[in-house]
Each structure stands twice: as C-alpha cells, then as structure tokens.
Amino acid sequence: MVDNNILQGKKHLHFIGIGGSGMYPLAQILHSEGYYITGSDNNETDTLAAVRKMGIPVYLGQRAENIAGADLIVHTAAIMSDNPELIAAKASGVPVLERCELLGLITRRYHHAICVSGTHGKTTTSSILTQILTEAGIDPSAVIGGKLPLIGGSGRVGKSDIMVCESCEYVDTFLHLSPDIAVILNIDRDHMEYFKTLERLISSFRKFAEMATKSLIVNGDDANTMKAVEGLGKETVTFGWSDTNDYYPANIGRIDDCFHSYDLMYRGSKRCTIKLYIPGKHNILNSMAAAAAAFAVGATPEQVAAGIADFRGAGRRFEILGKCNGAVIADDYAHHPAELKVTLEAAKELHYKRVWAVFQPFTYSRTAMLLDDFAKVLPIADKVVMTEIMGSREKNTYNIYTKDLAAKIDGSVWFPTFEEVADYLRQNITEGDLVITLGCGDVYKIAKMLVQ
C-alpha cells in the first residue's frame, strides 16, 4: 500500500493519460487542493478540453520531455510498459504511482468511502448516489467513470467526510482502495485475460469485500456475489428482485411507457416511491443499490426519491445526443455482452421503428473470448453495424478481427473507419429510427459525426 504521506511536500504532479475517465476526477480533486497539475494524452477528447478549461496544461503525444519538473508522476493501467513517457518517469527517480494507487490514497482521507464495484452498472449507480447526496446537501466528493451533468464532469470535491468512488476490478485495481462501505452490484465473466477463471474473479471481489470497515451492500439475487461475501461476518445489506432481500421493489409500474416506477421496500415496509427516468428494467437494481448506500450515510427517503427522480443518466449511458435524418442518435458505454443485452432490450422497449446497434469491439482478448456471446446479443437490434476492434492496451496476439464477429451475425456490416460507418448510416437511417453507438472506446465520435 502506498505511503499516506507521499503527497507531502509535492507541488507539481504530472498525469500520463490525463484524458482517461478515471484520471480526470483525480486531477480535479488535486487541482482544487492547490497542486500544480500537468498531463499528456494521445487523442483529443471532450475530457481533454475540460482539463484544459481548468487551466491544466496538456501535451498531445507522449514523450519523455513531458515529465520535466514533476515531483510525482501518475499513469493509468492502460499505459503500456514501452511508452516513452512512462520509461522516462521510471528512470527519473521521482515517485511514480499507478492511478489506482493514487485513488486508494484519496479514499483513505474519508471516513465514509463508498466504493461501488461490480461487472456492470458501476457508473450509473455511482452517478445516482452522487446525485442523491449532492442534491440533499450532504456534499460528497466523487470519482465516477462517466460524466454526471449535475456536477459537470466525472468528479467533484465536497466538504463532507463522504466519498463516492467507482471501483473497477480490472487487474485488481479496486484492491488498492480503502472502502468503508463496499457495494457489489454483480459479478460476471469479464477481464478473463487477467483473471483466467471465474473462481479467481470471485476471489478478488471477496478480498475487496473483506477490506470494508463498516458494511457491505450486495446483490442478494446474484449467486457469484453471494459466494464472494459468504461467511465474512460483516454487516451486510442485500438488494434484489425478491422479498428475501433487505431492499426490493414492489408495484413496478410504467411512466410514459418508457420508464419505470416502483415502491422501494425495506424488510416489508415501504420507504418511498421511486420514479426512474432512465430506460431499462436493470436500472431498478442500480437505483436500489444507490438508495441503500445513500440511506447508510444519512439520506432521508424523501431525499432519495427526489435525487433519483431528477437523475437523467450519466454521460455515455444511453445518452441522447441529437438527430440525423430524423433518426434519434444515442450513445452508450456497453461493451460486454451482458451490458449490450440489457441496453438493446431497453432500446427495443422504446417503440422506435428500427434500432441500429453501432458497435466498436474493445480489446482483442474480450472479443476473442466472448465472440459467441457477442454474436447472440447484438441481433437484439434490428440492424448491426460495426467498426474494427479497438485494441487499446493489447496487441492482436489472438488473430481476431471484426469480420470474424460479422460472419456470425446475419445482415451485419462493418467498416474499417468511422467516416465509412457514418456515411453508411447517413445513407440508410430514416425518421423513427434509433441509432445507438456502443462501446467503451471512442465510438461515440460516430454519434457526434451524425449529429453534426
């Protein structure tokens, strides 16, 4: 574990990969505390524009000279070991931290660090929780994996001793955190290039749960989650569909034929009526998890109901961006088959004439290992259009290509460039259609091309 005093006496912090959704809020928090921050990244993004707006200098392109003058350097897990800037950082004699180590250090500053984990739903749940607590005047700090409109970004600096922290299991990064309240939404096969087996993945979540100093909030209907927390002897609150859980929904109804309402029950008693203005039945579970965490740090039923009713989604979570040819253009971060399934099912419930799934596979390992699962869920959409795989931190040792996935989906098409995808869509989408770009890479750029 990183020395809690490592930031003492430091003035200039440099972030390699500052445009990452997890790096930006850390830069926000430390910038607000008076540290001089610089950063670098390889691609222009909306996040980089927001970083610059804060007055933080950003270098485009990663080079050894970018670290000059820094007395502490932070990098993301996605930065490869042969990156020239990271090589220079490690040779400089200056302390070098991975992002998760710095985040862990920050969580230890709070008495109520609520760490939200799970294979799916982390960003939405963290965002709902932040919305509830911020609107209630509880004034949390937050580090979220997506943009929350209420706070104008993916992080905020609060004055209370409460922090909301999205906690990712990728390469065990969440084991660097110090949760007081650990939330586990679900455990599903992902990042298998690292974990290798489901048992090892469950074991990592168990270690995460063991670190909670106050309580656990877990999905009581998810067998993998319950296996992870079995016999830990910690105060445990469950949520789920059935009334065997502490929190469960009753009287599930519809709002405007698109959204859901329900009575939030706690051990047989109604706490409040929830109106949920984001699509998809799966978000009932996410909202219950957020409500349970909000209650744990003092929010009232009225504050929980109001915060959830005001929530309209996080950035890149079924985010409506505009129109093209009369078709509605949306964007979503879904990149795992289970996420694609619930997102596309939610899209189909909205009664558009046709749903177009525009999918960018992310990482060669995930695409190769879950190829058949992707092939099963993408046809939930009426039309499937794909880009080439975004390799990100990997090299294509799997010899896998988008054409391999397209061969398994009747009627699907794929194109090497975003421009070709956008051109194809412009020529084929019509009024009454819904186009949703899907993936955790930069596929959102296609949605923006269409809207512009």
- Phi and psi torsions of 283, nearest 5°: -75, -10
CA atoms of 27 and 48, how far apart (whole Å): 11
CA atoms of 318 and 327, how far apart (whole Å): 15
Helix (H) or strand (E) holding 74: strand 72-75
Give the pair of three-digit tokens for residue 252. Answer: 């599930």
Residue 204's nearest CA partner among 165, 237, 232, 171 is 171
Longest dimension (CA), the chain: 62
- Only one residue has tokens 């399934």, namely 341
CA atoms of 140 and 134, how far apart (whole Å): 6
The dihedral of CA 161, 162, 168, 172: what is its sign? Answer: positive
CA dihedral of 73, 78, 79, 80, whole degrees rounded to 10 = 140
Half-sphere exposure at residue 221, Cβ-oriented, CA atoms within 13 angstroms: 15
Cβ(341)–Cβ(377) below 8 Å = yes
**Residue 257 per-residue DSSP state:** T
Give the pair of three-digit tokens for residue 279. Answer: 């699509």
Our answer to whether residue 123 is catalytic in this structure is yes
Identify the three-state secondary structure at position 112.
strand
The strand pairing partners of 137, in sequence order, are: none
Give the pair of three-digit tokens for residue 6. Answer: 């490592």
**Residue tagged active-site, from 38, 107, 122, 135:** 122
**Residue tagged active-site, from 38, 47, 76, 166:** 166
Helix axes 46-53, 23-32, angle to 10 degrees: 0
Cross-sheet strand order for the sheet of 383-387: 319-324, 327-332, 433-438, 354-359, 383-387, 413-415
**Residue tagged active-site, from 76, 123, 363, 387:** 123
58-60 vs 36-41, strand pairing mode: parallel
CA separation, residue 34 to residues 11, 27, 94, 165, 262 (Å): 8, 11, 20, 21, 44
Kindly list the catalytic residues: 122-123, 166
